[in-house]
Amino acid sequence: MGKKRIVIDTNNLISALGWEGNSRDLLNKVIDKEYEFIISIKQLEELKNVLDYPKFKFSEEQKRKFLEIIFKIVIVIKTKLKLNVCVDEKDNMFLECAVEGKADYLISGDGDLLRLKKFRNVKIVSVKEFLG
Q: What is the pLDDT of residues 11-22, one digit of tens each?
A: 999 999 999 999
Residue 5 contacts residue 102 (beta carbons within 8 Å)? yes
Quick one: pLDDT at residue 1? 62
Quick one: pLDDT at residue 16? 97
Q: Which residues contact 87 (CB under 8 A, 6 or more apart)?
A: 112
pTM, two decimals, is 0.95
Q: Which portions of the chain are predicted below pLDDT 50?
A: none
Quick one: pLDDT at residue 110? 95
Beta-strand ranges (E) seen in 1-129 are 5-8, 36-40, 74-77, 105-107, 118-119, 122-125
Torsion of CA 97, 102, 107, 113, to 10 degrees: 60
